[in-house]
A and B are shown apart, each in its own frame.
Chain A
C-alpha cells in the first residue's frame, strides 16, 4: 500500500465513497426485471420497479452495512478486544430472542414494536456479555471472543428451541440469515434510525478513541466512562436489532471492516469512523449484488454470500502480518 493514500484519511474516505457510488449505480440496474437506462423515463413500469424495489433495496444494504460495521467497531471499543462483533457475541441472538418472544406473545404487534422488543433484548444480552468480558483476565485476549461465541451459541440454541416448539422455524430463518430480496418501499425505513446512530457515533468519535485506552486513562481525561459505556451499548443494540428485524443477521461485517480499516489507517476514530461506515456499506452492497448475479435469475441471500466473502477476509486478516506504517 502506498504511504500517501494511507496517511491521509480524506484520501481513503474518497476512495471508499467512490467505490460505494459505483456499487450504488450498479445495484439499481442489476437483478431480475429489465431496466434499460434509456427507457427509464418513458417506461412507467421501469420507473416503478426502480422506486419501489431497487432503490429501497440498495438503500437498505447501504444502511445495514454502515450500521453493522459501526456496531462492530463500537463493540470492539467497549470490549477492548478486536475480535468481537454483534453477531458473534450474543447481541444478534438476543435480538432474535426478543423478536421471537414478541411475535409469540403479541402476534399483532407492528414491526416498530417488535424492533423495540428486539432492541431491549439486545441491550440486555450485550450488557451481560460485556460485564462478563470485563471480568475475564486481560492476559488472555482470546477468551473474550471465545466466550462470546459460546454465549451467542447458547442464546441462539434457546431461540431455535423456542422457535421449534412454537412452530415458528420458518420465521426464524428470516431473522437469522440476512436477505434483501424482500425489501420494498415501506418495509426498510426503520433502518434510517441506524443511520442516525452512525451519526451519533461520529459525534462521539474522540470519546470512543479515548475509551480504547482503558478506564483509567478515560477517567484521567475527564470522561464519564460508565455513561459512555451505556451510550455505546445503546448504539450497538439499536443498530443490531434493527438489522435483525428488517433484513436478518449478516455475519462478519462488524468484524472484518473495522479490522481492515484499523490495519490501514490506525484507530483514531475521528478519521477512520467514516471510512468504516462507507466500507461496511460497500461490502454489504457488493455482496448483495454478487448474490443477485451468481445464480441469475435466482438469488443467493446476502447473509450466505457474506458468510463466504467475510470468512475469507477474516482468514486473510488473521494470516497477514499487521503492517507497521
Chain B
C-alpha cells in the first residue's frame, strides 16, 4: 500500500502540490490524469524519492520513503520517468539488464538473465535486444525503458506517461501487458495517462489532479462523466457508452 499524507511541495516561491493525501492499495492499476503542469510528475517523483519530501509523509508498505535506505526501496518500487534520456551507447538487453542491479548489485545470475529474457519478450523487444538504444525509434526506446522498469521486479511500478511515442498497436499492447501484470502477478501500477479512454479501459481507478490538488477520484465508470471531466480539463466533452464502457469523445 502506498500511503500519502498531507504532502505539499514547492519549487522556490511556487507551490506545486497542496496538501495531498491519497492511499493506493496493493494490487491493480491506478491512472493519474490531469492537464499539463497539474503536478502528476512531481507527485511520482516524491513517491519514488527522486525528489526530497518537504512536507507530509509517504510510506510504501510501511516504509517511509525519506528514511528507508535507497537500496531497499529499489527492490520495492521502480519508476519510469517522463523524460528519460539514454545518452550512453548501451544495447537494449544491457539496459534492461541494469533493471536487475538492485538485486545482485553486479553480475547477472542465471535467474536474472531469465527475467531479462522475459521482460524483452513481454515488451516485444527480443528482435531488438542487440541493437544500441540510440539506433531505436522513439517508441521502441520507450518500450525498452518500460521493460527496464518492469525488469526491476518490484511490487510497485510508477510509470510517467509510458504511452509517449507509442503507436496505437503498441499503446494497446502495453496497456494489456500492464493489465496482465497487475492481474496475474498482483503488482501495483500507478500510471500517468493523457488518453482518458486508455485510463477508462484499463485502470481500476482514476485519480484526477489539477493545479497541484486532487480533484476527483473514483472508478472509471464514475469518473468518465462530462461534468467531472470539464472540471479537470476545462472543456465539455460528450461521454458515450460503448459495449457497456464509457468513452469520452474528447476530440469532438
Contacts and interface: CB of A to CB of B under 8 A. Distances in A.
Contact of A324 (B102, B105, B107, B134): B134
Contact of A222 (B84, B91, B101, B106): B101
A224 B107 CA distance: 18
Contacts of B72: 222
B81 A223 contact: no
Interface in A210-234: 210, 212-214, 216-217, 219-224
A80 B101 CA distance: 20
Given A213-B86, A214-B85, A268-B90, A224 B70 contact: yes
Interface in B64-78: 70-75, 78
A29 B217 CA distance: 80
A210 B101 contact: yes
Contacts of B85: 214
B87 interface: yes
Interface string A173-212: 0000000000000000000000000000000001001101
Contacts of A206: 98, 101, 105-107
B152 interface: yes
A262 interface: yes
Given A206-B106, A214-B85, A216-B50, A221 B98 contact: yes
Contacts of A325: 132
B140 interface: no
Contacts of B135: 324
A7 B87 CA distance: 20
Given A210-B101, A222-B101, A224-B70, A217 B84 contact: yes
A220 B158 CA distance: 11
Interface in B96-112: 98-99, 101-102, 105-107
A267 interface: yes
A266 interface: yes
A198 B49 CA distance: 32
Contact of A268 (B70, B91, B101): B91
Contact of B75 (A7, A222, A266, A267): A222
Contacts of B75: 222
B185 interface: no
B37 to A, nearest CB: 20
B94 interface: yes
A324 B132 contact: yes
A5 B45 CA distance: 42
B48 interface: yes
A268 B74 contact: no
Nearest to B70: A222
A80 B84 contact: no
Interface residues of B, number: 33
A154 B251 CA distance: 58
B145 to A, nearest CB: 9
A34 B153 CA distance: 65
A213 B50 CA distance: 14
Indicate the member of A206, A209, A213, A220 with the most B CB atoms within 10 Å: A220
B89 interface: yes
A212 B90 CA distance: 10
A220 B78 contact: yes
A266 B91 contact: yes
B79 interface: yes
Contact of B48 (A220, A262, A268): A220
B14 interface: no
22 contacts: A206-B98, A206-B105, A206-B106, A206-B107, A210-B98, A210-B101, A212-B88, A213-B86, A213-B88, A214-B85, A216-B50, A219-B50, A220-B50, A220-B74, A222-B101, A262-B89, A266-B88, A266-B90, A267-B88, A267-B90, A324-B134, A325-B132
Interface of A: 7, 80, 206, 209-210, 212-214, 216-217, 219-224, 262, 266-268, 324-325
- Nearest first, the 3 closest Cβ-Cβ pairs linking A and B are A222-B74, A267-B88, A212-B88
Given A213-B87, A219-B50, A221-B101, 19 more contacts: A80-B87, A206-B101, A209-B90, A209-B98, A212-B87, A212-B88, A213-B86, A213-B98, A216-B81, A216-B84, A221-B98, A222-B73, A222-B74, A223-B101, A266-B91, A267-B89, A267-B90, A324-B132, A324-B135
